[in-house]
Chain A
């Protein structure tokens, strides 16, 4: 499924550390992905995978120091986000590129009304008058499906439910019709029925506005619902990426496969869940070779020695594993073929 739309965001080799010592393994190591206009890229990973750090780095929201970009570019509309000065980033954030966070209560200011907070971005970026901005904020609240929007305009965040707050966040994020929306676990704090409402809202707004989205999640169900393209992250690296169909029907990396087998689904029970042994290593103990090798049941000596290069599988499908495809592994005999 090759799409013809141009890229809105191209991240190449993003490498980042929080440490001053060169010997410490990088927190993000050569992260590359791209997003096409109007499409959704899901970055899926567990705690410690670096998925949130990636999004914060793109938005220029990591405190530096300690965060330090070691290498990489992130091209957005012809500009490298990683090299832009703060002032230029401030013109982009909340304008051509905006962000939704997991916990709306901590990302909304408790001291301002919902209407003031939505209007602020409209005034800041478009120089709208106060009354114009307020009228537009009201219209946005209606668009995100907030009932009795007029009365909610003057409500404070604590007066709203979690689902309503997330709708307000969405209204703020879309206020200036961004080209790109970065959503970091936008429905994780919500109940499943409210999650369904919010996801369906995001999808329909995206269709209406043509906004591209980077959706960060730990939930493969959310990926199955929302993604056009998927990047699977593990311990600061992208281990596999491809179209949503490629990732679900033809997963190549042992981590992706283990993850798929570990999720309990609502279908009929089929024996014990697959597991992934151990846990993500802390950054200072990151292994030298493939970062997944200590947990990988297929790992061989070379996996512990050298980090695998990312290989093209076909279409947009790429995998960083010495051993893929796994079915080519002869179970018993030692192998020396396949060194690509």
Chain B
């Protein structure tokens, strides 16, 4: 158990070191969410004047959506990197050592969790600079970063699992791109659920990403942690745990 934790830690440090060595990748991951934040924030700014709009400004409403979008874009590369490590023989080299194999996957997704927390911090700073009035409580802020971390871990796990299924980089990148936007559109990231056509609202209610947006919005707006909030939190955590379990199971099965 101690060894397993140590393995995870040292491999985590490896990924962290690589990330710090090439900070541009972390910045690149932010480009798209920030474009959405700036453009959409402007484009739909009058939206907030509509009757029944549940936020004081559209930018404030949009920010939790962009937070989750950052997580999705940031995490979809994790599987690509896994395939690269498999191709380079790095994974095989690890599998022959005394390393605890679950640590190989766990370290990757933990690293991604931390990475997206950093990216989200930058997104929040930009949103605040743009004048989005977000006022989470200190506890809410901690909880928000916790949700972001859990989602980063979960979506990285999903990306790794799909990578192990697809086995090739190109279709994985395509799948990542194809899935990210629809997953975002079927959430309350851009418009309140109230304003959605019924069928999209129905899809949103089975989309774990939607619950991530909802939970983030409650926390960023400093709203009350009601039953809906805890439901959203529960869905996010359950999804992340399931994705983690799936990727680990696929990885442990690798030895054929």
Q: Do A and B come from one complex?
A: no
